[in-house]
Chains A and B, each alone.
Chain A
Amino acid sequence: MTKTVEEINKKIRNRKAVVVTAEEMASVVKKDGAEKASEKVDVVTTGTFGPMCSSGVFLNFGQSKPKIKMHKVYLNDVEAYSGLAAVDAYLGATQMSRGDSLNRIKPGRFSYGGGHVIEDLISGKKIKIKASAYGTDCYPRLSYDGEIRLKDINEAIMCSPRNAYQNYNCAVNVSDKTVYTYMGILKPHLGNANYCSAGQLSPLLNDPEYRTIGPGTRIFLGGARGYVSWNGTQHNPGVQRGANGVPCKPAGTLMVTGNLKEMSPEWIKGASMTGYGASLIVAVGVPVPVLDEKIAAFCGVSDEDIYCPIVDYSKDYPQGTGRTLGKVSYAELRRGEIKVKGKTVPAASLSSYYKAREIAEKVKEWVEEGSFLLGRAQETLPGPSSNISFKSLPPDSGRGK
């Protein structure tokens, strides 16, 4: 059976749509098969809540009197990029506060960065703002030093170039020293294995070939309504896939947009990755319209059918060797112990499955209430056959270290 987004939206408006979470869909498909499931279910809701470094916010502060064209601007001592018009800036999640000792004494704590400023803004806290300028005839002010709150500025638009990674590595450390990574603290001699995906609940793992998702897809972002604006950076749809269409390694990504003023500190949190840097933990939920049997089958995926590569972060990842130590399913990871090179290794997640489930439930509630209509993608994201090749920097000139 095939349906259109418009038909499903009509049902949502009449509160007749059948909505299930991706977790529930796995059992529906297992029980009834994909064909029946596609007749029964209209929308499958997904969710993920993990650190997403490529996140940030466009801000417009409003003008001072006399006016200023900000050349450098700092929010709680964290620099926001101001190479835009006069009082526009972009605050990135991983920017560190001035004076942070970074990794000078390893491992650095990275206790306050852009992600934390974003969380503080959403929490309604006062933020110190310091700006400097070179002064022009139309913008004579040379510096500004004051305080702002989110509600006092014109816009705060979250626009994150890469969120909701479709699948990710499982990180381990085979060396004899602890390594501090964006995948957390990895103990030596395969002391632990860290992974970071909501697996069967993850948005792009339920629409692995991006048949429904693209610019215009309405999503849950940080507790508010947001949109997919484009494919994310490093979108790499051409990777190897299983028979179920699910990529075996990091593949698709989303660029997402939403109004920071509507978001909640429960769903956007600053993060400090010891020895690595600051980041932002972001809640993303995408409702997938069950347009046909194929999509129903995709949404029926469960953790047993999703595999990720086990990668050594002491050498193979940093040196870019491309070597992996095998693969593991999210079902195994979620049980808390995996086997790597014959050794039993405790596994931990960096993304919260508990919260991912809450997000999927919340989106389900919104759709069921009729308050959240599906946004039809104006075009879908570049898919597996789009011939996108994944690029690297050319060899170093010899002057870099």
Chain B
Amino acid sequence: MKSKKIVLHFPKDLVNKPIVYRLIKEYDLSFNILKAKILPDEEGLMVMELEGDESDYRKGVRYLKKAGVSMQPLSKDVRRDDEKCTHCGACVVCCPSEALSVNRKTGEINFETEKCIACELCIPACPTKAMVLEF
């Protein structure tokens, strides 16, 4: 089994074509879309976690590349230094993927790393520099 977070770039002319669903249908891969911005006549961007059998994964990636989708691994990770975090919430409104959220009952700030797309917007928003980028 292989599971990886990848960033896909769709050129303008590909945006209107169905591509991603074939990963499931023909390559038996499963994916979890972490972020997607695909609008007609614009370059599209999608961040996904792609998972499947090693050889299926390879084939799937080959298919994507052949179709004209450029891709790169999401190699950065954002980590939270829990000693520094004060649970204020300044990061929450900056987070586009809802990886950072407020527990409305306790007031605690949750950080769900699996939802994080490493966009780094939380980093300058954090007064105590608790959000750190790791390569």
CB-CB contacts below 8 Å: B77-121 with A: 84, 86-94, 102, 104, 106-109
Are A352 and B104 closer than 8 Å at their CB atoms? no
Q: Which of B87, B90, B93, B129 contacts A355 (CB 8 A)?
A: B87
Q: Verify B89–A352 contact, CB threshold 8 A.
A: yes
CB pair A357 B124 closer than 8 Å: no
CA distance A354 to B86 in the complex (A): 8
Within the complex, the shortest CB–CB distance from A34 to chain B, in Å, comes to 26
Given known A-B contacts A274-B124, A279-B127, A348 and B104 have beta carbons under 8 A apart: no
Q: Which of A185, A281, A350 lies in contact with B124, CB distance below 8 A?
A: A185
Q: Give the complex CA separation of A281 and B130 in angstroms.
A: 13
A336 to B102, CA, bound (A): 8
Pair A270/B88 contact, Cβ less than 8 Å = no
Asked whether A274 lies within 8 Å of B125 as measured between CB atoms, the reply is: yes
Q: Are A50 and B88 in contact (CB under 8 A)?
A: yes
Q: Point out the residues of chain A lying under 8 angstroms from B104, CB to CB.
A: 334-336
A353 interface residue (CB < 8 Å to B): yes
Contact of A185 among B94, B107, B108 (CB under 8 A): B94
Minimal Cβ-Cβ distance residue in B for A346:
B93
Interface SS, B side: loop
Contact B125 A185 (CB under 8 A): yes
Least Cβ–Cβ distance between B55 and chain A, in angstroms: 44
Asked if A347 is an interface residue, CB under 8 A from chain B, the answer is: yes
Residue of B91, B107, B129 most packed against chain A (CB within 10 A): B107
| Contact indicator A281/B86 (Cβ below 8 Å) | yes
In the complex, are the beta carbons of B106 and A354 less than 8 A apart? Answer: yes
Asked whether, in the complex, the Cβ of A272 is within 8 Å of the Cβ of B88, the reply is no
Chain A 244-275, CB-CB to B under 8 Å as 1, else 0, gives 00000000000000000000000001111110
Contact B124 A349 (CB under 8 A): no
Is B128's CB within 8 Å of the partner chain A? yes
Contact yes or no, A271 B124, CB < 8 A: no
Given known A-B contacts A49-B86, A354-B109, A355-B86, A348 and B93 have beta carbons under 8 A apart: yes
Does A192 count as interface, using CB distance less than 8 angstroms?
yes
In contact, A349 and B88 (Cβ under 8 angstroms): yes
B129 touches A272 (CB 8 A): yes
CB <8 Å contact, B90 and A348: yes
**A354 adjacent to B87 (CB under 8 Å):** yes
Interface residues of A in 149-190 (CB under 8 A from B): 184-185, 187
Q: A50 contacts which chain B residues (CB < 8 A)?
A: 88
Considering the complex, give the chain B residue whose CB is closest to the CB of A336: B102
A336 / chain B contacts, CB cutoff of 8 Å? 92, 102, 104
Q: Are B127 and A51 in contact (CB under 8 A)?
A: yes
B105 to chain A, nearest CB (A): 10
Task: Return chain A residues, CB-CB under 8 Å to B108.
Answer: 354
Residue A107 at the chain B interface, CB threshold 8 Å: yes
Q: Are B90 and A349 in contact (CB under 8 A)?
A: yes
CA distance A274 to B125 in the complex (A): 7
Is A109 interfacial (CB 8 A cutoff)?
yes
Nearest residue, chain B, Cβ from A278: B127
A269: chain B residues at CB < 8 Å are 84, 86, 128
A194 adjacent to B86 (CB under 8 Å): no
Q: Is the CB of A348 within 8 A of B92?
A: yes
Please name all residues of chain A whose beta carbon is closer than 8 Å to the beta carbon of B109 when the two chains form the complex: 354
Task: Say yes or no: B127 contacts A354, CB within 8 Å.
Answer: no
Q: A269-B84, A350-B89 are in contact. List 15 more A-B contacts (CB 8 A).
A: A50-B88, A107-B124, A184-B125, A185-B124, A192-B93, A273-B127, A274-B124, A336-B102, A348-B89, A350-B127, A352-B88, A353-B87, A354-B87, A354-B106, A355-B87
A residues neighboring B (CB under 8 Å): 49-51, 107, 109, 111, 184-185, 187, 191-194, 269-274, 279, 281, 334-336, 346-355, 357
> Could you jot down 9 A-B contacts, CB within 8 Å?
A269-B86, A269-B128, A272-B128, A281-B86, A281-B127, A348-B89, A349-B89, A352-B89, A354-B107
